[in-house]
Structure 1
Amino acid sequence: MATYHIETYGCTSNRGESREIERRLRDGGHRPADGPTEADVAILNTCTVVEKTERNMLRRAEELADGTADLIVTGCMALAQGEQFREAGLDARVLHWEDVPTAVLNGECPTPAADTEPILDGEVGILPIARGCMSNCSYCITKFATGRIDSPPVAENVEKARALVHAGASEIRITGQDTGVYGWDTGDRKLPELLDRVCDIDGEFRVRVGMANPGGVHGIREELAETFARNEELYNFIHLPVQSGSDDVLSDMRRQHRVDEFLDIVETFDERLGHWTLSTDFIVGFPTETDHDHAQSMALLREVRPEKVNVTRFSKRPGTDAADMKGLGGTVKKERSKEMSAAKREIVGAAYESMVGERHEVLVVEEGTGDSVKCRDGAYRQIIVQQASERGVEPGDFLEVEVSGQNTMYAFGDPV
């Protein structure tokens, strides 16, 4: 589990982006540090409105780089003038804000702390259902902190979910290092049972299932897909991190699945659900990844066309087996990441563009930037409603919207 420190400069939009970064880090089990010197990673969200501001950003980046194990620079100056940070000789990663959480997670499992209790964050109730995993990935440092899966009883997690609903949660986010192996330590695969029982709780709410590795889901794919199909409370959304389209690389990563098993899961959900969102992750530039391996990953991405994709450049984590491998050059990783990220934007943008003109029932989950709110439809796709206060729309509302436009990573909707 990483600790983070985030600093934000500039406009309301930057503050909104930092809030989203922080939310995704918390969903992954990461926690804020008391200050930059106590953090595993510092995140500087920059502004570039005037020359003086640029000088201040560079100076602050230098200060953070001197006192922090890892520095990530994002925001307006990072995107418009990222070369200035490199020319200053800073040991920092310059990233788009959407890529920051994925970079911090580094392709690893999320890591709720041992004493993590359910958290209510506005309309969102965060429910960690277990700690640990059944994997032994060669690149992952998380396993040293969490160990093997430790699953509380189903009844205990159901009571925690009920408490979140009674406290006002409209959305429950079920999290864990690997939700798909919940119950394996007790000799049973219990995720479908848990989801059924959570959905039976009295109240009007939605449930999002967090990351589930393909190796754990493959054996329960049919039962799990049926669980999604019969419970309207469940978002038709599943996060299955494939990490590579090459079986050779997956073997070197010590992932517990192969590409055909990942495709089996996708096919099963395609058969059971009218529309659903596949979220997946790719690590590019793993030390043993060849040009052919990367081409296989690109082919897999274009074949399954996931509507949410996290692309991470491989980075070595101390104490892991992959850290001892001879790495690829930074230029190779950068170019492969650039190619995959471009394909991701095309695929995701096309998915949101196809929604224009459709009507969807949505849950308003949280406030957005300015006078807007963020909503989720039944497949967990993000739809933004603007002029929310004028329209009397606020978090917790269920409403029907007509999709009026899109902006690559989300859609815009008007209340019907």
Structure 2
Amino acid sequence: MARYHIETYGCTSNRGESRAIESALRDAGHYRAEGPETADVAILNTCTVVEKTETNMLRRAEELENETTDLIVTGCMALAQGEAFADIDARVMHWDEVPQAALNGECPTPGPGVEPVLDGVVGILPIARGCMSNCSYCITKHATGRVDSPSVEANVEKARALVHAGAKEIRVTGQDTGVYGWDTGERKLPELLSRICAIEGDFRVRLGMANPGGIHGIHEELVEVFADNEKLYDFIHAPVQSGSDEVLEEMRRQHRVGKFREVVDTFDRELDYWTLSTDFIVGFPTETEADHELSMDLLREVRPEKVNVTRFSKRPKTDAAEMKGLGGQVKKNRSKAMSELKREIVGEVYEGMVGDEREVLCVEPGTGDSVKCRDSAYRQVIVQNASEWGVEPGDFLDVEITTSQTMYAFGKPV
């Protein structure tokens, strides 16, 4: 679990985003540090109202850069003028990306139990607790243990209850959804997703994080489920973590790069329009410059539509904590290089959507008078002036993609 420091500037909306970030971090087992100097990651939620404010934001970012080992900059100035932070060693990203970026490559750690939660029109459905991995850098396994999978029928009933309660998007979650059912001797994820999609109603389903080693043995069957069900977002989150097999071995990951590529190639072959989300850890203690270049090469080759770049930090009670670490500047340089490549790749994805028409589901309120929506591949589309259009969370609508930012697009109802 990570220690975080968060600072928020600006309006009530920004403060609300910070509360959501903190809530997600706490739910994942992280906790607030006493200050930036004792934090594993510092988060600066910026404002961009006037020029003086922007100057203050840049100055504070420079101060935090020197006070912490890892800095994330988000908020209005980061999204509107991300290039202003180019000379600062920080990861610039959308509010929604911050909790995952702070996870240090670890699995998410929900609270006790696996009970569903309805948040607005979003239903959170934990399908199991625990995982089957033993990653050398991850402390989550100490909190969750081995995977414990409720039956398919039990999870389907929970999903049905969420739909009946008003859920329009069901997020299937777990430490590693790909190993659902392993403890019972069966690979049950494809069956579970098919049966959830068969529930009567107009809603969408998003599959949460599935490690490449967990889904590799079922990826052929799994992609058929995606192809056959319109309710299922064509989106997978498969964290590769490194492009080097040697580093993956030191991390004790259950996959190697070849398995990851096979999963990606299968989805590429069977789905015309889909999103790959993946994670990279940079600066693992045994990562050489050549290993880092292999990760950069893999990122260029696979070109995922969503990428989480995490700078390695040691966690207590993990084997990686005993390894001799790399220098802070080495990790910063590699993180900055990969983050720049990520922004280039993801920016091209959203720029390429401009001019297209997409059906989207409005999922939650955005900043000001806007709503955040998702298209069939779970790519984020912002509809501005939502009240003028009469649009609110839970609505399905067709939009024309008009413009884009690095991490999302803007759409106008048609």
User: 1:257 corresponds to which residue?
Assistant: 255
User: 2:345 corresponds to which residue?
Assistant: 347
User: Which residue of 274, 284, 291 maps to 2:282?
Assistant: 284
Paired residue secondary structure (1:343): helix
Contact 2:101 2:308 survives alignment (8 Å): no
Deviation at 1:162, TM superposition (A): 0.8
Contact 2:369 2:385 survives alignment (8 Å): yes
Counterpart CA distance in 2 for 1:277 and 1:249 is 26
Counterpart CA distance in 2 for 1:97 and 1:266 is 25
User: 2:228 corresponds to which residue?
Assistant: 230
Deviations 1:208-265 (A, max 9, x none): 0000000011000000000111011000000000000000000000000010100000
The letter for the 2-side match of 1:292 is A
2:294 matched to 1:296?
yes
2:184 matched to 1:149?
no
Deviation at 1:112, TM superposition (A): 1.5
User: Which residue of 178, 186, 189 maps to 1:188?
Assistant: 186
Deviation at 1:44, TM superposition (A): 5.8
Contact 1:47 1:75 survives alignment (8 Å): no
The letter for the 1-side match of 2:389 is R
Deviation at 1:114, TM superposition (A): 2.3
User: 2:45 corresponds to which residue?
Assistant: 45
The letter for the 2-side match of 1:367 is P
Paired residue secondary structure (2:102): helix
2:8 matched to 1:8?
yes
User: 1:207 corresponds to which residue?
Assistant: 205
Residues 3 and 208 from structure 1, CA distance in 2 versus in 1: closer, same or farther, beyond 3 angstroms? farther
Paired residue secondary structure (2:14): helix
Contact 1:12 1:369 survives alignment (8 Å): no
User: 1:401 corresponds to which residue?
Assistant: 399
Deviations 1:106-165 (A, max 9, x none): 100011122242111111110111010000000000000011000011111111111111
Deviations 1:326-364 (A, max 9, x none): 111111111111111111111111111111111111000
Residues 299-314 of structure 1 aligned to structure 2 (within 5 Å): 299-314=297-312
Contact 1:358 1:403 survives alignment (8 Å): yes
Residues 45-64 of structure 1 aligned to structure 2 (within 5 Å): 45=45
The letter for the 2-side match of 1:268 is T
Paired residue secondary structure (1:215): helix
Counterpart CA distance in 1 for 2:45 and 2:70 is 11
User: 2:195 corresponds to which residue?
Assistant: 197
Residues 40 and 217 from structure 1, CA distance in 2 versus in 1: closer, same or farther, beyond 3 angstroms? same
Deviations 1:27-66 (A, max 9, x none): x734788x99xx9988563558658x969x97xx99xx9x
User: 2:108 corresponds to which residue?
Assistant: 110
The letter for the 2-side match of 1:401 is V
Deviation at 1:17, TM superposition (A): 4.0
Residues 3-152 of structure 1 aligned to structure 2 (within 5 Å): 8-12=8-12, 14-15=14-15, 17-18=17-18, 21-22=21-22, 24-25=24-25, 29-30=28-29, 45=45, 74=73, 96=92, 98=94, 100-152=98-150
Contact 2:361 2:375 survives alignment (8 Å): yes
Residues 325 and 385 from structure 1, CA distance in 2 versus in 1: closer, same or farther, beyond 3 angstroms? same
Contact 2:91 2:339 survives alignment (8 Å): no
Deviation at 1:4, TM superposition (A): 6.9
Deviation at 1:370, TM superposition (A): 1.1
The letter for the 2-side match of 1:299 is D
Residues 4 and 330 from structure 1, CA distance in 2 versus in 1: closer, same or farther, beyond 3 angstroms? closer
Residues 23 and 398 from structure 1, CA distance in 2 versus in 1: closer, same or farther, beyond 3 angstroms? farther
Counterpart CA distance in 2 for 1:31 and 1:139 is 15
Higher mean C-alpha displacement, 173-182 vs 74-83: 74-83
The letter for the 2-side match of 1:8 is T
Counterpart CA distance in 2 for 1:273 and 1:358 is 18
Contact 2:7 2:44 survives alignment (8 Å): yes
Counterpart CA distance in 1 for 2:28 and 2:166 is 22
Counterpart CA distance in 1 for 2:134 and 2:218 is 20
TM-score, scaled to structure 1: 0.86
Residues 135 and 43 from structure 1, CA distance in 2 versus in 1: closer, same or farther, beyond 3 angstroms? same
User: Which residue of 376, 379, 389 maps to 1:378?
Assistant: 376
Deviation at 1:3, TM superposition (A): 8.3
2:375 matched to 1:415?
no
Contact 2:108 2:175 survives alignment (8 Å): yes
Deviation at 1:324, TM superposition (A): 0.7
Paired residue secondary structure (1:409): coil
Contact 1:72 1:100 survives alignment (8 Å): no
Deviations 1:55-93 (A, max 9, x none): 9x97xx99xx9xxx999674579989999xx9xxxxxx9
Deviation at 1:10, TM superposition (A): 1.3
Counterpart CA distance in 2 for 1:162 and 1:128 is 14
Counterpart CA distance in 2 for 1:317 and 1:82 is 28
Deviation at 1:101, TM superposition (A): 1.8
The letter for the 2-side match of 1:132 is G
Contact 2:170 2:203 survives alignment (8 Å): yes
Paired residue secondary structure (2:386): coil
User: What RMSD in Å do the two structures reach over aligned CA positions?
Assistant: 3.2
